[in-house]
Amino acid sequence: MNKDKQFKERDIMAWGECERNFIRKVEIDLERVTSIKKKALQRLQRARNTEVNFENISFVVEDYYEVIKELLVAYLLNNGMRSKNHQCLISYFYKQNPDFEREVVLISQMSFFRNRLTYYGDDIPMEFYETHKDDFEDIIKLILRILDEK
């Protein structure tokens, strides 16, 4: 089994499963896309303006993940779809942009940490934030650029 196939099966939901179970076709709504982007950028400002410490690091990383997730919602909507599942947002982004595997892996890690925080009360490690803060920003810029190209 090649590395790419292992990645797809292990780290993100298969797009076919998403299409069957979690995706529905919708009319493209550019006003909604714009509104979602605007709110995501407001959340991004909050994340950037928060003085990071061990008490709030989990919530700062969660905010960065939510920004990325909201931009992926806009991306899907911009392509005439909605998803009932966050994993399908990631799956669609990867399907459409296979060259961004590294970014997809990081988004998946963020999703994992966010779910551990939300459902189990686990903290997100400061090291994860310190190691990837610039990557979070780069992913956001990347998705915004892709959205603006359409």
Would you call 131 exposed, middle or buried from its count of C-beta atoms within 10 A (0-12, 13-18, 19+)?
A: exposed
Q: What is the pLDDT of residues 15-39, one digit of tens each?
A: 999 999 999 999 999 999 999 999 9
Would you call 92 exposed, middle or buried from its count of C-beta atoms within 10 A (0-12, 13-18, 19+)?
A: buried
Distance in angstroms between the alpha carbons of the first and the last residue of the chain = 35
pTM of the model: 0.91
Q: What is the pLDDT of residues 66-120, one digit of tens each?
A: 999 999 999 999 999 999 999 999 999 999 999 999 999 999 999 999 999 999 9
Would you call 29 exposed, middle or buried from its count of C-beta atoms within 10 A (0-12, 13-18, 19+)?
A: middle
- pLDDT at residue 4 above 80? no
- pLDDT at residue 3 above 50? no
Residue 12 — pLDDT band, cuts 50, 70, 90? confident
Can you spell out the DSSP letters for 15-37?
Answer: HHHHHHHTEEE----HHHHHHHH
The region, left, alpha or beta by phi > 0 then psi within -120 to 50, assigned to residue 80 is left
Please give the domain boundaries of the chain with CATH numbers for all domains. 15-149 (1.20.120)
Length of the chain: 150
Residue 10 — pLDDT band, cuts 50, 70, 90? low
Q: Side chain identity at 83, as an amino acid letter?
A: S
- pLDDT at residue 7 above 50? no
Q: Map residue 137 onto helix, strand or coil.
A: helix
Q: What are the tokens at 56?
A: 């709030």
